[in-house]
Amino acid sequence: MEYKLIKSKRKTVSITVEKDAGITVKAPVGASKAAVERLLEKHRPWIEKRQRQARERASRRTPLSQRQIEEMKKLAKDVMERKTRYFARIMGVKYKYVKITSAKTRWGSCSADNAVCYSYRTMLLTDRQRDYIAVHELAHVKQKNHSRLFYAEIEKVMPDYRQVQKSIKEFENLDLY
């Protein structure tokens, strides 16, 4: 069974079946290859089931053309810059700049120096969901974590954020992109 092994300072082993059906194993630095492979063998039925599901979902996805991606990036730059400016004023925060990326596993990020990045894929979301993504990233200007205080910052601006957050999770589970 082929897999990608990532060793780090951690105590447990995790097995992830990626969207492309590849296997990623995260393990403690001291874990032996034999121990990892025993664990993979033990979980083979679960892994194979997840790989079948990933391949099935992949066969339903419609890939975007390079032209569509470029158009979405331009639109995202305009839309997300506007939303970021608007919510930054409301929240009383300053950010460095807005950048649009091709990130596949996250909607946005906020760096330590308050540069805000969004994936062009935010254009697949509803307007309200994009509002949440902008507010979420700007909340990181005040709180560099996902603590109770962080979510309190979001709630000040978006009292219904939990429902919006849930709708984004449901969209992600459709696995259309």
Residue 94 phi/psi, 5° resolution? -120, 135
d(CA 177, CA 169): 13
Which residue in 98, 95, 117 sits closest to 106, CA to CA?
A: 117
User: Sign of the CA dihedral 93, 96, 97, 101?
Assistant: negative
Instruction: Could you please state the CATH topology (level 3) that the domain comprising 66-174 is classified under.
Output: Zincin-like (3.30.2010)
User: Do the beta carbons of residue 47 and residue 1 sit within 8 Å?
Assistant: yes
Q: In a structure prediction context, what are the per-residue pLDDT tens digits for the chain, which is 177 residues long? A: 999 999 999 999 999 999 889 999 999 999 999 999 999 999 999 999 999 988 987 777 778 899 999 999 999 999 999 999 999 999 999 999 999 999 988 999 999 999 999 999 999 999 999 999 999 999 999 999 999 999 999 999 999 999 999 999 888 766 555
Give the pTM.
0.72
> Two tokens at 71?
């158009």
**Cβ atoms < 10 Å from Cβ of 130:** 22
Domain boundaries, the chain: 4-60, 66-174
- Ramachandran assignment for 49, one of left (phi > 0), alpha (psi -120 to 50 degrees), beta (any other): alpha
User: Do the beta carbons of residue 23 and residue 46 sit within 8 Å?
Assistant: no
